[in-house]
Amino acid sequence: MVALEATSDGRFAAGRDGVRAVVATGDRKVEFVAFADHTLAHVTSAMGFPAYYPVQPVELRAPVSAVLMDLDGTTVRSERFWVWIIERSVGSLLGNPRFRLEEADLPFVSGHSVSEHLAYCIAKYCPHATVEQAREHYFEHARRELHAIAQGRGKADAFVPAPGVKEFLLALKAAGIKVALVTSGLYEKAYPEILGAFRTLGMGDPRLFYDAVITAGFPLRHGEAGTLGELSPKPHPWLYADVCRVGLGIPGEQRHHVVGIEDSGAGVCSVRLAGYTAIGMAGGNIIESGTRALCTHYCSSFPEILSIIMQRQAAT
């Protein structure tokens, strides 16, 4: 965490009006305002719609009733593919098909919404362009590449199941634990990923396996009806809150029996702001984004996470 004198909107300042401290995640996507008896989280927005949320204390209690899992980078290794699509989109804006992002850009182009990713790239690389123009290029490239992959062409390693994820998922099911899939990705990009991964794993239809699946919905395009999702994705709490409370039917008072698994800083913040325990998965940008402190555990493999969950089950 990074200490700040005040929140970016100037509403709260350390040492004023009961504020003890103001800190931010390393990527500055979430700012925390600490009072004596409570904490607020200020989720900033590249699209101009920030929000404040209360931060609830969490603990993982036995028995664990539900596991909420991120898609990209956690269940499926696909981040490199989507970063490549962003690079191609920015390259189209610049007229430079050889454009590549820098290593320092990676925490800002994963874990958030498509529009947030593109807004960051526009501000840094092509301020003459608009998010709307970038989105047109993004979906053009994405649809073409996804179609090629569905036809057996395109990037062969675009969507690879994470090591140990099959055994992990089957163990949760065998233990009677509900499993939900949560992604900030739009449905048209997210569903081919998990479908391809389940085919590779020989696990059948993911819609029949998961107890609930939530995505950022469908994109707004001219002449078509979209759904809410681009302005309320991770690190906002709504995807995790919605899939658990509505999708799984678990009320807020039972939130200490729910755990979210994430590999991105935005995802960890989303889990925590929804009021659930966050377990971080190594390999993403949790360390780089400065959100390690928000994780109750930080693990390098699914067997390690399963051991934590099953220890809780054994305590009942």
Other beta carbons within 10 angstroms of residue 82's beta carbon come to 22
Q: What is the DSSP string of 273-307?
A: HTT-EEEEETTSSHHHHT-GGG-SEEESSHHHHHH
d(CA 227, CA 233): 12
**Per-residue burial over 240-251, b = 16 or more CB atoms within 10 Å of its CB, e = otherwise:** bbbbbbebbebe
The overall longest dimension of the chain from CA atoms, in Å, is 60
* Confidence band for 238, pLDDT divided at 50, 70 and 90: very high
Span 225-229, average pLDDT: 89
pLDDT at 134: 96
3-state helix, strand, coil split of the chain in percent (to 5) is 40, 15, 40
pLDDT at 155: 75
Q: What is the DSSP string of 258-271?
A: EEEEESSHHHHHHH
pLDDT at 80: 87
Q: Is 254 exposed, middle or buried (0-12, 13-18, 19+ CB in 10 A)?
A: middle
Model confidence over 143-169: pLDDT tens digits?
Answer: 898 888 777 677 767 889 999 999 999
Span 190-217, average pLDDT: 93
pLDDT at 222: 82
* Confidence band for 192, pLDDT divided at 50, 70 and 90: confident
pLDDT at residue 316 is higher than 90: no
In a 13 Å sphere around the CA of 291, the CA atoms on its Cβ side amount to 31
pLDDT at residue 247 is higher than 80: yes
Span 109-118, average pLDDT: 85
DSSP structural state of residue 56: P
* Confidence band for 127, pLDDT divided at 50, 70 and 90: very high
pLDDT at 257: 97
d(CA 212, CA 65): 14
Model confidence over 283-306: pLDDT tens digits?
Answer: 999 998 999 999 999 999 999 999
Other beta carbons within 10 angstroms of residue 39's beta carbon come to 16
Residues whose CB falls within 8 Å of the CB of residue 260, separated by 6 or more in sequence, listed in order = 67, 68, 69, 70, 182, 240, 267, 270, 271, 274, 276, 277, 278, 279
Span 300-315, average pLDDT: 94
User: What's the whole-number average pLDDT of the chain?
Assistant: 93
pLDDT at 46: 84
pLDDT at 154: 74
Model confidence over 62-105: pLDDT tens digits?
Answer: 999 999 999 999 999 988 899 999 999 999 999 999 999 999 99
* Confidence band for 199, pLDDT divided at 50, 70 and 90: confident
* Confidence band for 118, pLDDT divided at 50, 70 and 90: very high
d(CA 31, CA 2): 9
* Confidence band for 111, pLDDT divided at 50, 70 and 90: confident
Region of 164 (left: φ > 0; alpha: ψ -120 to 50; beta: rest) is left
Answer whether 160's CB lies under 8 Å from 78's CB: yes
Amino acid at the residue 113: S
pLDDT at residue 112 is higher than 80: no
pLDDT at 105: 92
Within the chain, where are the H helices? 79-94, 114-125, 131-150, 165-174, 187-201, 206-209, 238-242, 265-273, 286-289, 302-314
